[in-house]
Amino acid sequence: MEENGGYPMVYGVDSVHGAIFVKDAVLFGQQINGGASFNPDLVYEQGRITNRDTEALGVPWVFGPILGISRNPLWARTLETFSEDPHIISVMGDAIIRGLQSNNHTAACMKHWIVYPKTPSGHDKDAVTVSDYDMMNYFFPPFKDAWTPA
Q: What pLDDT is attached to residue 133?
A: 97
DSSP percent split of the chain into helix, strand, coil, nearest 5: 40, 5, 55
Write down the domain spans for the chain: 10-147
Look at residue 74 and tell me whether its pLDDT is greater than 60.
yes
Specify the DSSP class assigned to residue 139. Answer: I
Residue pair 62/20 in contact (Cβ under 8 Å)? The answer is no
Average pLDDT value for residue range 62-83: 91
**What is the per-residue pLDDT across 130-150, written as a single tens digit (0 to 9) for each?**
999 999 999 999 999 998 766
The CATH number of 10-147, from 3.20.20.300, 2.40.50.140, 3.40.50.2300, 3.50.50.60, is 3.20.20.300
Residue pair 86/132 in contact (Cβ under 8 Å)? The answer is no
**What is the per-residue pLDDT across 23-71, written as a single tens digit (0 to 9) for each?**
899 999 999 999 999 999 999 999 999 999 999 988 999 999 999 998 8
